[in-house]
Amino acid sequence: MVSVSKAVAFIAFVGVALVLGWVALLQATQAEASGQTVAVPAPEVPINSIGYQGVEGGYQNHVENVATTIPEELLPALKGLTFVNGCHPWTTSKLGKCALGTFDSAGWDADESVGHKWSNTIWVSTRAVITGTASDVVLHETGHAFVHNFFDDCYFPGQAEKSVKDLLMTYFAHDQAPPAELLADAFVVAYGKDGSTRHTYYLDKFNYGVSDDALAAVRAAVWLCSQ
Ligand SMILES: [Zn+2]
């Protein structure tokens, strides 16, 4: 199980990531919490479309295939975006382990430099593939990408003073959980396949139920802001 201090440190980390204008993260404690150990191949193979060394890469094709199952409404967020099977360098450095998924708009490296060739990427770890959570991880990270690319400069009719992003952040405000992560998990609920067991780390961790109104707001925002 994750200790309280670790959880607090992790939440603080997410706050830092948000301050940096960068959102990512699907933390990966579920496999450990349930006592499963998953063999993750050593990172050695530079197999991915951006040729970045040091990533996993063995499931690159699998990850790209999962990405093709994303609902049509969300596809605008994926324009110009590259999927990478592996461990994002900045996230791995900060967490001390490979995150299940990362969305990186700016190309962050472990030394805090930006502008690297993996800007505008979604990283999906081998562990996400092996544990069967890849499609939900992809939806969560696509949610981050959609928010980043479309919700900042978009306004609901009659709501000119607050962007859709700000309104949704208010909607998902929580005294402990990062609202950006609850919102990204809401994408999994709104756009995941019916009947499957959904991997929604933050909703589960904070026992947060997404209301029908919130789901409607997310869907309306996706439609409106991608017009
Ligand atoms: Zn996230």
Average pLDDT over residues 207-212: 95
Q: Which residue has the higher pLDDT, 149 or 8?
A: 149
Round the average pLDDT of the chain to a whole number and report it: 80
| pLDDT at 8 (0 to 100) | 41
Separation of CA 39 and ligand 1 centre (Å): 23
Separation of CA 99 and ligand 1 centre (Å): 10
Here the contacts of 206-213 (C-beta below 8 Å, separation 24 or greater) are 206/174, 206/176, 206/177, 206/182, 208/174, 208/177, 208/182, 210/182, 210/185, 210/186
Q: Which range is least confidently modeled, 44-53, 101-110, 218-227?
A: 44-53
Q: Which two tokens stand for residue 42?
A: 């050593």
Separation of CA 144 and ligand 1 centre (Å): 7
Average pLDDT over residues 79-93: 91
Q: Which residue has the higher pLDDT, 197 or 8?
A: 197
Separation of CA 15 and ligand 1 centre (Å): 12
Separation of CA 180 and ligand 1 centre (Å): 7
> What is the tens place of the pLDDT at every residue in 1-17?
334 444 444 443 333 34
Separation of CA 26 and ligand 1 centre (Å): 5
pTM, full prediction: 0.78
**Maximum alpha-carbon separation in the chain:** 53
Separation of CA 53 and ligand 1 centre (Å): 24
Average pLDDT over residues 76-95: 91
Other C-beta atoms closer than 10 Å to the C-beta of 79 total: 9
Separation of CA 101 and ligand 1 centre (Å): 8
* Rounded CA separation 187/219 (Å): 9
